[in-house]
Amino acid sequence: RETGRLAGEAGTLLAAAAVDTARWELVHFSLHAHEAPDGAEGDVFEVLHLSAPGRDRLPRGRQW
C-alpha cells in the first residue's frame, strides 16, 4: 500500500519496496522529479544530477 501511495504522488518518477535482509524489515524507496512531497517520512536525499537518456521512451507502470 505504501509503495502505491508513493507512486501516486505528483512528480514521482519511481517507487519501490524491498526487504532489508540485515534487519528483516520492509523498506520503501521513491524518486521524485522535484522536492520531496509534504509529509515525507524517513531519510531524504537530494540527487544533484541524474543521467537518464531515453527515459521518455520507457513504458510506464509495472514491468514484471
Indicate if the pLDDT at residue 28 is higher than 90.
no
Confidence of residue 11 (pLDDT cuts 50, 70, 90): confident
Hunting for cell 521518455 — which residue is that? 56
Q: What is the pLDDT of residue 64?
A: 66
Going from N- to C-terminal start, the domains of the chain cover: 1-35
3-state secondary structure of 43: coil
Q: Is the pTM of this model over 0.85?
A: no
**Looking at per-residue confidence, does 3 or 17 come out higher?**
17
Per residue in 29-64, pLDDT tens?
A: 888 888 777 777 777 777 787 787 887 887 877 776
